[in-house]
C-alpha cells in the first residue's frame, strides 16, 4: 500500500482566482452512507482550499457536484433525476460546471450513460479522486472540454486532505476503505475497490485533533471495520480491537461508535473490548442480512444463523444492557416464504433496537444479478410490510422498557415540540426533553419519562 500526503495545488488556486471576478461558489451534495458523506466533507475542504466558497442552493453555484451512491437502483435513479433537473440551469448559466463523483462514477456503464445522454455533465471522477479535484478543475477551466474519467482504482491512501465537517460535535473518521468480501448482491467491492487500511498513527493523529477540537461523538468508518489492519506493515500491525484500545487511551470527554461490522469477522475480542472501554457505546450494529442459512450461503456471507446468535448471546453476557441494530435484505433472489420466516424468527430472537431494511435491488455486474428471481414484487413488498410490523412491535417494547432510567445523552438538535431538544442515547435511541439551546453539542443527563412510538420523552436531570 502506498501512502501519500495531500499537497495544496497553488497553480489550480491561482487559475480559479483568475477565472472568476468574485470567489466562485460550489454546491456539493452527498448521497448514501456515512463514508460517502465524509468524502463529501473532504470534497468541500479541497474546494475551499483552492478558493471556492460553499453554498446551499444549486441556483447560486458556479460548480455543482453530486457525490453519488450506487448501492441500490433507487439511489441511482434519484441521482439521474436530479442531474436531469439541472439542464435548464445550465442553459441559463453556460459557465456552470456540473460534476458527478462517488460510487456511481466508478461504474463503467454510468460514465457511458452520462457521456451519451447528459451532455451538460462536465466532470466525472471516482471515489479515489478527491485529492486530484484541483487539477481536474484547473484542466476543465483551461481546456473547456468535458472530463469524464473512466473508473479506475488507485491502491493509494492520501492523508491530510482538507475537510469541512458538517457538525461541530459529531465527526466521521474513516479507518479503512474498500471491501474484499464480495457478498453476491453488493456492488461496493466493485466501486470502492480492495480493502486498504489507514495507518494507526494517521488515525490516532486525526482522532486526537477531533477530541482537542471538542468533538463528542466520533464514528469510525469502514465497509468492514472488523478486518481493519490487513496490509499494514509488520511493525505497525494491529487489529480493530487494538485500534480501539489505542484510541480509547486518548484522554477526553467523548464517545466512539463504529460501523460496519461484518458478523464473520466480529470477534469475541471485539466484544470484550466494548465491555472494557467506557468510551465505546454499548451498542453494536451487526448486519445479518437474513435469517436463512441457505440464503446466507448464496449471499456469500460466511456465517450461519447459529454463529450469529452465539455472538449476540456472548455480547449480552459480557456487556450488560448492550443493544443491537442490523441491516436486512428482503427478497434476495430465490427467497422462499420459509427463508423469510427464518428472518422474522431471527429478528424476534435478537430483539433489535433498530433495523435498516431494504428490498433486494439487482446490481449489474454482481453474481446475484444472474440468479433466478421468481418472487413477484408484490410478494416482496408484502414480506417487507410484515417485517416492519414485527420490528415495530419489538422496538416499541424495547423503547418502553427504557423508561424510568436516567441516561447521558449527546444533545444533537431541536426536538419536534417548541422549546425541546433532541438527544441521542448510547443505544442510538432519540429522546426529546425541554432545555436551553446552549446545551447543543454537549452531554446532558436526562430522566426518561415516557415514549411516543419509538422516540423517548424525558426531562433534564441534575
Give the one entry of ligand 5AD, ligand SF4, none that residue 329 binds, where binding means its C-beta sits below a cut-off of 5 to 8 angstroms depending on kind.
ligand 5AD
Q: What is the C-alpha separation between 89 and 315, in angstroms, rounded?
A: 53
Measured from the CB atom, the residue of 101 and 138 that comes closer to ligand SF4 is 101
33 carries a ligand binding annotation: yes
Q: What is the C-alpha separation between 341 and 453, in angstroms, rounded?
A: 25
Give the one entry of ligand SF4, ligand 5AD, none that residue 192 binds, where binding means its C-beta sits below a cut-off of 5 to 8 angstroms depending on kind.
ligand SF4
Give the one entry of ligand SF4, ligand 5AD, none that residue 272 binds, where binding means its C-beta sits below a cut-off of 5 to 8 angstroms depending on kind.
none
Give the one entry of ligand 5AD, ligand SF4, none that residue 103 binds, where binding means its C-beta sits below a cut-off of 5 to 8 angstroms depending on kind.
ligand SF4
101 carries a ligand binding annotation: no
183 carries a ligand binding annotation: yes
Minimum distance of ligand SF4 from residue 104's CB (angstroms): 8
Q: What is the C-alpha separation between 141 and 323, in angstroms, rounded?
A: 51
Helix, strand counts (H, E) of the chain: 14, 21
Minimum distance of ligand SF4 from residue 301's CB (angstroms): 17
Contact 444, 434 (CB under 8 A): no
Q: Which stretch binds ligand SF4 (CB under 6 A): 30-38, 193-201, 230-238, 260-268?
A: 30-38
Q: What is the C-alpha separation between 421 and 383, in angstroms, rounded?
A: 36
Minimum distance of ligand 5AD from residue 340's CB (angstroms): 15
Residues 35-64 contacting ligand SF4, CB under 6 A: 35-36
290 carries a ligand binding annotation: no
Find the binder of ligand SF4 among 42, 170, 192, 262 (CB under 6 A): 192
Minimum distance of ligand SF4 from residue 124's CB (angstroms): 15
Find the binder of ligand SF4 among 46, 79, 103, 446 (CB under 6 A): 103
Contact 164, 48 (CB under 8 A): yes
Q: What is the C-alpha separation between 100 and 80, in angstroms, rounded?
A: 10
Q: What is the C-alpha separation between 443 and 170, in angstroms, rounded?
A: 12
C-alpha cell at 148: 469524464
Measured from the CB atom, the residue of 288 and 409 that comes closer to ligand 5AD is 288
Give the one entry of ligand 5AD, ligand SF4, none that residue 361 binds, where binding means its C-beta sits below a cut-off of 5 to 8 angstroms depending on kind.
ligand 5AD
Minimum distance of ligand SF4 from residue 269's CB (angstroms): 26
Residues 341-360 contacting ligand SF4, CB under 6 A: none
CA terminus-to-terminus distance, the chain: 51
Dihedral sign from CA coordinates of 322, 31, 177, 137? negative
Give the one entry of ligand 5AD, ligand SF4, none that residue 332 binds, where binding means its C-beta sits below a cut-off of 5 to 8 angstroms depending on kind.
none
Measured from the CB atom, the residue of 104 and 446 that comes closer to ligand 5AD is 104
Minimum distance of ligand SF4 from residue 43's CB (angstroms): 13
Is residue 373 classed as helix, strand or coil in its secondary structure?
coil
Contact 26, 16 (CB under 8 A): no
Q: What is the C-alpha separation between 182 and 367, in angstroms, rounded?
A: 9
What is Dmax (Cα atoms) for the chain?
A: 66
Residues 284-343 contacting ligand SF4, CB under 6 A: none
Contacting residues for 370 by C-beta, under 8 A, at least 6 apart = none
- 97 contributes a contact to ligand SF4 by CB under 6 A: no
- CA-nearest of 29, 77, 10 to 362 is 77
Give the one entry of ligand 5AD, ligand SF4, none that residue 363 binds, where binding means its C-beta sits below a cut-off of 5 to 8 angstroms depending on kind.
ligand 5AD
What residues does 294 pair with on adjacent strands?
none
Contact 243, 228 (CB under 8 A): yes
Is residue 49 classed as helix, strand or coil in its secondary structure?
helix
- 262 contributes a contact to ligand SF4 by CB under 6 A: no
- 421 contributes a contact to ligand SF4 by CB under 6 A: no
- 188 contributes a contact to ligand SF4 by CB under 6 A: yes
Residue 451: Cβ within 10 Å count: 19
Find the binder of ligand SF4 among 26, 33, 79, 175 (CB under 6 A): 33
Minimum distance of ligand 5AD from residue 329's CB (angstroms): 5
Minimum distance of ligand SF4 from residue 69's CB (angstroms): 3
Measured from the CB atom, the residue of 33 and 456 that comes closer to ligand 5AD is 33
C-alpha cell at 338: 420459509
Is residue 281 classed as helix, strand or coil in its secondary structure?
coil
Residues 313, 319, 320, 324: what is their CA dihedral angle, to the nearest 10 degrees? -60
Give the one entry of ligand SF4, ligand 5AD, none that residue 32 binds, where binding means its C-beta sits below a cut-off of 5 to 8 angstroms depending on kind.
ligand SF4
- 70 contributes a contact to ligand SF4 by CB under 6 A: yes
Question: For residue 188, how many C-alpha atoms fall within 13 Å in the half-sphere facing its CB?
Answer: 20
281 carries a ligand binding annotation: no
Contacting residues for 77 by C-beta, under 8 A, at least 6 apart = none
What residues make contact with ligand SF4 under the rule CB under 6 A?
A: 32-33, 35-36, 69-71, 103, 187-188, 191-192
Q: Specify binding-site residues.
A: 33, 69, 103, 179, 183, 186
Q: Specify binding-site residues for [4Fe-4S] cluster.
A: 33, 69, 103, 179, 183, 186
Amino acid at each position: 500500500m502506498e501512502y501519500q500526503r495531500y499537497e495544496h495545488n497553488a497553480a489550480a488556486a491561482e487559475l480559479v482566482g483568475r477565472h472568476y471576478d468574485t470567489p466562485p461558489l460550489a454546491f456539493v451534495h452527498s448521497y448514501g452512507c456515512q463514508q460517502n458523506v465524509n468524502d463529501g466533507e473532504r470534497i468541500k475542504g479541497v474546494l475551499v482550499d483552492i478558493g471556492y466558497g460553499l453554498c446551499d442552493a444549486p441556483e447560486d453555484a458556479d460548480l455543482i457536484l453530486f457525490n453519488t451512491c450506487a448501492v441500490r437502483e433507487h439511489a441511482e435513479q434519484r441521482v439521474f433525476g436530479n442531474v436531469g433537473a439541472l439542464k435548464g440551469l445550465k442553459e441559463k448559466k453556460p459557465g456552470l460546471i456540473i460534476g458527478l463523483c462517488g460510487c456511481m462514477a466508478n461504474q463503467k456503464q454510468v460514465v457511458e450513460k452520462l457521456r451519451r445522454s447528459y451532455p451538460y455533465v462536465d466532470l466525472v471522477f471516482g471515489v479515489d479522486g478527491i485529492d486530484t479535484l484541483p487539477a481536474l478543475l484547473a484542466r476543465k477551466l483551461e481546456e473547456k472540454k468535458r472530463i469524464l474519467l473512466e473508473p479506475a482504482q488507485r491502491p493509494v491512501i492520501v492523508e491530510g486532505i482538507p475537510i469541512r465537517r458538517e457538525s461541530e460535535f459529531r465527526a466521521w473518521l474513516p479507518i479503512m476503505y474498500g471491501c474484499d468480501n464480495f457478498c453476491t448482491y453488493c456492488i461496493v467491492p466493485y466501486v470502492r475497490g480492495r480493502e486498504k487500511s489507514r495507518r494507526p498513527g494517521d488515525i490516532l493523529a486525526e482522532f486526537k485533533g477531533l477530541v482537542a477540537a471538542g468533538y463528542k461523538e466520533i464514528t469510525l468508518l469502514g465497509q468492514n471495520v472488523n478486518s481493519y489492519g490487513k496490509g499494514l506493515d509488520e511493525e505497525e500491525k494491529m487489529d480493530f480491537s487494538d485500534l480501539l484500545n489505542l484510541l480509547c487511551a486518548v484522554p477526553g470527554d467523548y464517545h466512539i461508535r463504529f460501523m460496519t461490522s461484518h458478523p464473520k469477522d466480529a470477534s469475541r475480542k471485539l466484544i470484550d473490548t466494548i465491555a472494557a472501554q467506557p468510551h465505546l457505546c454499548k451498542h453494536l450494529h451487526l448486519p445479518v442480512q437474513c435469517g436463512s442459512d441457505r440464503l446466507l450461503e448464496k449471499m456469500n456471507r460466511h456465517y450461519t444463523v447459529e454463529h450469529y446468535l452465539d455472538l449476540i448471546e456472548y455480547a449480552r453476557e459480557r456487556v450488560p444492557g448492550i443493544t443491537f441494530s442490523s441491516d436486512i435484505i428482503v427478497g434476495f433472489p430465490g427467497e422462499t416464504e420459509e427463508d423469510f420466516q427464518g428472518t422474522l424468527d431471527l429478528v424476534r430472537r435478537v430483539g433489535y433496537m433498530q433495523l435498516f431494511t431494504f428490498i433486494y435491488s439487482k446490481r449489474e455486474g454482481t453474481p446475484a444479478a444472474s440468479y433466478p428471481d421468481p418472487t413477484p414484487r408484490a410478494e416482496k413488498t408484502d414480506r417487507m410490510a410484515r417485517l416492519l410490523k414485527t420490528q415495530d412491535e419489538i422496538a416499541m417494547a424495547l423503547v418502553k422498557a427504557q423508561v424510568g432510567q436516567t441516561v447521558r445523552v449527546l444533545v444533537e438538535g431541536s426536538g419536534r415540540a417548541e422549546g425541546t431538544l433532541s438527544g441521542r442515547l448510547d443505544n442510538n435511541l432519540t429522546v426529546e426533553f425541554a432545555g436551553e439551546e446552549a446545551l447543543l453539542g454537549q452531554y446532558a443527563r436526562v430522566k426518561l419519562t415516557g415514549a411516543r412510538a419509538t422516540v423517548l420523552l424525558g426531562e433534564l436531570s441534575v
